[in-house]
Amino acid sequence: MVFVKAQKSRSYFKRFQVKFKRRREGKTDYRARVRLINQDKNKYNTPKYRYVVRFTNKDIVAQVISATIAGDMVLASAYAHELPQYGLKVGLTNYAAAYCTGLLLARRVLKKLDMDEEYQGNVEATGEDFSVEPAESRRPFRALLDVGLLRTTTGNRVFGALKGALDGGLDIPHSEKRFAGYNKDGKSLDAEVHRKYIYGGHVAAYMNMLMEDEPEKYQSQFSDYIKAGVEPGSLEELYKKVHAAIRADPNPKKPEKKAPKEHKRYNLKKLTYDERKQKLIERLNALNAAAGGNDDDDSDEDDE
């Protein structure tokens, strides 16, 4: 019985319905996406912005996007790999860096729309829940948080990015239930704990603990920090400076693009239709010449 393997029959393939491409790739949650994008019909073409936060292994992506039939249009974007310009060189994917990225994005969006004077947001980052107050002339910029496929647990970095955007001056409907430092039993947000996370207090505590208990592990874990000369005590100062730098100049700097390197070609280049036809004609001519003019039929291979 071993040699008869159960296969997927032809009828299985004929009836198989593929999921949407991005669902097959596991990148988009369409159930959430439909609900985020759906705009009231009596608002016609008013765009509905969503604040997208995604984490990769080494980077954080924060974007404000609106959806159209042609595709999603990005209004502004901020990446954690831009933070070195503002003075933060290490720890680019932690809670504090997420806060910085969110703050950077918010200031960029507001600057783009000329609203950054009105909506300063929360300049001094305490951990408290802060919502933008509408100013006199224009209503605050509203976006909806899009977490993607993340599990929304309390203290997740995505809420650090959310807090950064809120303090930057965007109006994002939220609840404080998922910020780091929320106490489920007491049902209250401990602002002190949250503030600690925003300034990398949890990282500093770990660094201190390792320095005392396991110095070798400290050397291996935080080697980049040591190389950059970042001490656990100076972390808070560092982040404060980064926040100030972001508020001072949120404009993105375009890096110089080098001309791409010419790579050696490892596979044959595809011929065009004309080239293939030409090759065929040459081959047939060669064949005819080799046969030595024996053909009675005047098969004219030279034209066409």
**Residue reference for tokens 């951990």:** 127
Q: Which residue, 21 or 261, is less far from another protein as judged by CB?
A: 21
Give the separation between CA 101 and CA 158, rounded to whole angstroms.
Answer: 10
Q: How many C-beta atoms lie closer than 10 Å to residue 212's C-beta?
A: 9
CB of 184 to another protein, least distance (A): 35
Q: Which of 32, 59, 67, 190 binds another protein (CB under 8 A)?
A: 67
Q: Which residue, 70 or 259, is less far from another protein as judged by CB?
A: 70
User: 71: alpha, beta or left, given left = phi > 0 and alpha = psi -120 to 50?
Assistant: left
Which strands make up the sheet holding 49-55, listed edge to edge? 72-79, 60-67, 49-55, 144-146
Q: Which of 4, 69, 248, 290 binds another protein (CB under 8 A)?
A: 69
Q: Which residues inside 169-188 make contact with another protein, applying CB under 8 A?
A: none
Q: Which residue, 69 or 290, is less far from another protein as judged by CB?
A: 69
CB of 37 to another protein, least distance (A): 6
Q: Which residues pair with 62 in a beta bridge?
A: 53, 78
- Number of residues forming the site for another protein (CB under 8 A): 20
CB of 64 to another protein, least distance (A): 17
What separation in angstroms does the CA of 173 have from each of 240, 243, 282? 26, 23, 71
CB of 43 to another protein, least distance (A): 8
Q: Which of 56, 68, 152, 278 binds another protein (CB under 8 A)?
A: 68
Question: End-to-end CA distance of the chain, in Å?
Answer: 58
CB of 222 to another protein, least distance (A): 44
294 in contact with another protein (CB under 8 A)? no
CB of 67 to another protein, least distance (A): 6
Q: Which two tokens stand for residue 10?
A: 């032809």
Q: Which residue, 45 or 175, is less far from another protein as judged by CB?
A: 45
Rounded to the nearest angstrom, the gap between the alpha carbon of residue 163 and the centroid of all alpha carbons in its chain is 17
Q: Which residue, 3 or 13, is less far from another protein as judged by CB?
A: 13
Q: Which residues inside 4-63 make contact with another protein, applying CB under 8 A?
A: 15-17, 19-20, 23, 30, 33-34, 37-42, 44-45
CB of 17 to another protein, least distance (A): 4
Q: Which residues inside 228-267 make contact with another protein, applying CB under 8 A?
A: none
Residue 182: closest CA among 206, 209, 162? 162
Q: Which residues pair with 79 in a beta bridge?
A: 61
Q: Which residue, 72 or 249, is less far from another protein as judged by CB?
A: 72
Contact present, 103 and 168 (Cβ < 8 Å): yes
Q: In sequence order, what are the residues at sequence separation of 6 or more whose Cβ sits closer than 8 angstroms to the Cβ of residue 122?
A: 130, 166, 167
Q: Which residues pair with 54 in a beta bridge?
A: 61
**Residue reference for tokens 């249009």:** 73
Q: Which residue, 38 or 278, is less far from another protein as judged by CB?
A: 38
Instruction: Check residue 258 and report its DSSP letter.
Output: P
CB of 24 to another protein, least distance (A): 12
Give the separation between CA 8 and CA 30, rounded to whole angstroms.
Answer: 28
Q: Which residue, 30 or 138, is less far from another protein as judged by CB?
A: 30
Q: What residue ranges bind another protein (CB under 8 A)? A: 15-17, 19-20, 23, 30, 33-34, 37-42, 44-45, 67-69
